[in-house]
Amino acid sequence: MPKKRILPYIIMGILKQNPNSTGKELTNQFNEEIGEFWKASHSQIYPELKKMLADDWITETQKENNEKEINYSLTKKGALQLENWIKQPITELAVSHDLFSLKLFFINDQNDPRIAELINKEKALIKTQLQHLYARKKLLFDDQKDIKKTMVIT
């Protein structure tokens, strides 16, 4: 069974937040904000945009002063597709590409000195990521009250 396409929903989500985005602006979102949890390159994004145009999920308009620059916007059909996708329950966890666990798996000797080195490096990477996440939290939610206003977890 083929994997369900996720990229178009991400692109539609970006277009919902940033209508009339260019392909370059979409790619920049993957290099910046969304890149924290999902990766996609321009070589993936542009073919997906063509499929989405064919599906009538987005429209394209060329700038009058620059024919090469194309802006993309979400159609009503695309907005409905996005909303339906968001409503769908998540029924399985995503498969992680965890190099740390993979390398540990292939070390057959529990006394191998590389284990301690791997663990220390992984701890350092996680610590760096945690610091980054705390900085992002502070940037997005400068005040604890802001978090409580926007997050309701049941």
What's the number of domains the chain is made of?
Answer: 2
Containing structural domain, residue 129 = 99-150
What pLDDT band is residue 20 in, cutting at 50, 70 and 90? very high
Q: Do residues 103 and 80 share a domain?
A: no
Residues 51 and 119 occupy one common structural domain: no
The Cα–Cα gap between 30 and 42 comes to 9
Instruction: Say if 133 falls within a structural domain.
Output: yes
Domain membership flag for residue 116: yes
Average pLDDT of the segment spanning 128-154: 73
Q: How far is CA 107 from CA 97, 103, 115, in A?
A: 17, 6, 8
In this prediction, residue 150 carries a pLDDT of 57
Give the count of beta carbons closer than 10 Å to the beta carbon of residue 47: 11
User: pLDDT band at residue 95, thresholds of 50, 70 and 90?
Assistant: confident
154, pLDDT greater than 50: no
Residue 92 lies in a domain: no
* Final residue belonging to a domain, choices 37, 65, 87: 87
Residue tagged 């590409």 (tokens): 97
Spatial contact of 20 and 72, defined as CB atoms under 8 Å apart: yes
Domain shared by 78 and 114, yes or no: no
Q: Is the pLDDT of residue 63 over 80?
A: no
Q: Which residue blocks in the chain are alpha helix, DSSP H?
A: 7-17, 23-31, 42-54, 76-87, 99-106, 114-140, 144-150
The answer to whether residue 143 scores a pLDDT higher than 80 is: no
Give me the percent of the chain exceeding a pLDDT of 70. 91
At 73, give phi and psi (nearest 5°). -135, 155
Q: In what order do the strands lie in the sheet with 58-63?
A: 21-22, 66-74, 58-63
Q: What's the distance, CA 143 to chain centroid?
A: 25
Q: How far apart are the first and last CA of the chain?
A: 34
The per-residue pLDDT for 148 is 59
- Look at residue 63 and tell me if it is in a domain: yes
Query: Both 74 and 124 in a single domain?
Result: no
Q: What is the pLDDT of residues 97-138, one digit of tens each?
A: 789 998 999 998 999 999 999 999 999 999 999 998 888 888
Residue 93 in any domain: the answer is: no
Same domain, 21 and 73: yes
Mean pLDDT of 7-17: 96
Phi, psi of 63 (to 5 degrees): -70, 140
24-50 residue pLDDT tens: 999 999 998 888 888 999 999 999 999
2 falls within a domain: no
Q: Are residues 73 and 140 in the same domain?
A: no
Q: Would you say residue 19 lies in a domain?
A: yes
